[in-house]
Chain A
C-alpha cells in the first residue's frame, strides 16, 4: 500500500505502540483487499474491546482484562499494548445485555459485572456509549460523502444508501484499529465507481407499508446476494423506518451493503444515474408470486401457532415505532402464556419515557429493553419454543441461533400474537 508520511510515522510508532499495531493491522487488511491507500475517517462505529468473560480468560496470560482483549483480539497484536484515549469520533454499537433488565434476560451477576467493567473502559477511552445497531437514531448521523468506518450491516446499508455516507461493512478489528489510527482502506464504497448499481429489480407488487418494504428487502438480498441493486417501480411512502427494515432484511438474506431506489435515494435521481449508464447486470421482477414466495420462505421455520415469545425492535425501534406499538397495546395485556420484549437504544428509550409510550408498553406487561436484542445476546424468555417477529432480519437469524420456531408478520399481527399467544398472521 502507498502510505503518507503521517501513516508511515504511525506505523513506525510515532504515536505509540497501540497506534502502530492498529496501522499494522490496517495495512495487512488493506493489502488483503487489494487497496492502494487509506482514507481519513473521523466517524467510527464498532464494538471496541467488549467481550464475554471467556474471551478475557482465554487471554489470562496477558492479564485477562480489557487491555489484553483490545490488544490481542481487536488489534490482532501478538503483544499487549497500552490503549490510549481514542481521538476519533467513535461510538460503541449494540452490546450484550440490558443495563437494568439483565436478570430477565437470564444473565448472571458475573456477566453483568463484566458488562459494567467493559462499559467503564469504553467510556474511559472516550468512546460514545450509544449501545445500538441504529447509531443514526441515537446521535451519529453522517453527512453525504463522509468517509465512515462502521460495523453493523443494517447501519452500513443505511449509511450508504439512505444518507450517502461512505462506509464498507467493517468488522470489529478494523473499526477498533480505525478508532486509533483514523484511517480505513480506500476500497469499495469509498470510491465513486464501486457505488454504481449492478442489477435491476423491477417492483410490480405495491410496496408501501413497512411490512411490504421488509418483504421486498428480503427478496432483494436473496436475488442480488452482495451486489448493488437498483429498484424501480411501485415503491411508495418512503420513511426512515421503512429504509431501516428494507436494508436490514437485504443485508441478512444477501450481503447488500448499498442499494439505490430510483427517485428515492440520494445517489439515484434516475435509474440511469444509479447505474452510471446502462444496466449491464441482471434484471429481476418482484411481483405477486415473488412476494408470496418470500413470505413463505420467511415463515418456513414456523409450525406451531402457539406463540410464547414476541420480539420487536430489530433493528432497534425508533421513537415513532415505540409510539405505534404503544398505541396498539393501549388497554390490552400481554397473554400469560407469552412474553413481549421490545428493543431500542438508550437515547430513544429516553424519548419514549418522556413521551409516555414507555409507560403504556410496560403497563401492558411488555418489557422495553435497550442495548441489545435476542439474537445478539442469545436471550429469550425461559422455555421459548415459538417466537414471532415483525423483522425479516430477526426471523432470518434467531430461529437458527436458538433452535426455535419463528413467524414473520406485521407489527399488528405480532402484538395480537403477544396478547393472545396465538399466531394468526397471513399474507393479505
Chain B
C-alpha cells in the first residue's frame, strides 16, 4: 500500500499526533462535519446523511479530511465497525478535537493528526495524494493525484 513518492510534495502541513503511524493515499475532503451513527453506512463505508455534500460517496481506503465529528455518541462504534467490515478510511485529518473524533481515530487505529499550523481544508482537495507521518506530525500533499 505505502509507496514512495518520487517527487517532492507540493506542500507540507504540520500537526499534532492523535494516532501514530504512517500511511498515504487519495484524499476525500469535506468542509462539513460528519455524523457517525446515522450518518454513515459502515457496511459500505459511505456517507448517507440526507443533506451532506458527500452523500453517496465512500471513504473506504481514503484519507478523510474533514472539520470534525458531530451527532450521535455512536460515532466511534460506527467507524470502529468500518474497520471490521474493511471499509475504514486509512487516515484522518481533522481540525476540531472532539471526544467522538479522537476515540473514533483511536479504535480505527489509523494514522491521524489535528491542531495544524495551517488549515488542511484550504489546501487539500478531493483527489490530491496525501501522505501522513503521524509520529513526526507531518502531512505531505501532492496536488492533483498520485505523483508519477
Instruction: Give residues in A with beta carbon < 8 Å to B.
Output: 25, 28-29, 32-34, 47, 55, 58, 73, 76, 150-153, 156, 168-174, 187-188, 225-226, 251-252, 254-255, 301, 375, 396-397, 399-401
Contacts and interface: CB of A to CB of B under 8 A. Distances in A.
B73 interface: yes
A153 B102 contact: no
B73 A152 contact: yes
Interface of B: 16, 18-19, 33, 38-39, 48-50, 68-77, 80-81, 84, 96-100, 102-107, 109, 112, 115
A157 B19 CA distance: 27
Chain A at the B interface: SS class = helix
A171 B38 contact: no
18 contacts: A32-B102, A34-B16, A151-B73, A151-B74, A169-B99, A170-B103, A171-B74, A171-B77, A171-B107, A172-B76, A226-B68, A251-B71, A251-B72, A255-B68, A255-B100, A375-B38, A400-B38, A401-B48
A226 B70 contact: yes
A77 to B, nearest CB: 11
A153 B71 contact: yes
A168 to B, nearest CB: 4
B113 to A, nearest CB: 11
A254 B48 CA distance: 16
Contacts of A255: 33, 68-71, 98, 100
Contact of A171 (B16, B19, B103): B103
A24 to B, nearest CB: 11
A33 B97 contact: yes
A73 B81 CA distance: 9
Closest 5 CB pairs of A and B: A171-B76, A255-B70, A32-B102, A151-B73, A172-B77
B73 A156 contact: yes
B58 to A, nearest CB: 16
A226 B115 CA distance: 17
Contacts of B72: 152-153, 251-252
Nearest to B68: A226
B35 to A, nearest CB: 8
Nearest to B55: A400
Contacts of B97: 33-34
Given A58-B84, A226-B68, A255-B70, A32 B106 contact: yes
**Best-surrounded residue of A34, A171, A187, A399 (most CB of chain B within 10 A):** A171
A225 B33 contact: yes
A58 B83 CA distance: 11
Contacts of A399: 50
Contacts of B112: 32
Contacts of B105: 32
Contact of B38 (A73, A76, A170, A401): A401
B18 A171 contact: no
B30 to A, nearest CB: 13
Given A301-B50, A397-B38, A401-B38, A174 B71 contact: no
A226 B94 CA distance: 14
A150 B49 CA distance: 24
Given A55-B84, A400-B49, A25 B106 contact: yes
A32 B74 CA distance: 18
B49 A171 contact: no
A226 B77 contact: no
Nearest to A256: B70
**Best-surrounded residue of B71, B77, B98, B109 (most CB of chain A within 10 A):** B71
Contacts of A251: 71-72
Given A55-B84, A400-B48, A169 B76 contact: no
A399 B112 CA distance: 32
A172 B80 CA distance: 10
Given A225-B70, A401-B38, A171 B75 contact: yes
Contacts of A152: 72-73
A257 to B, nearest CB: 8
Given A58-B84, A400-B48, A401-B38, A172 B74 contact: yes
A80 to B, nearest CB: 16
Given A174-B103, A396-B50, 8 more contacts: A58-B84, A73-B77, A151-B73, A170-B99, A172-B74, A225-B33, A226-B68, A396-B38
A140 to B, nearest CB: 16
A153 to B, nearest CB: 5
B103 A29 contact: yes
Contacts of A171: 73-77, 99-100, 103-104, 107
A154 to B, nearest CB: 9
A29 B102 contact: yes
B84 to A, nearest CB: 5
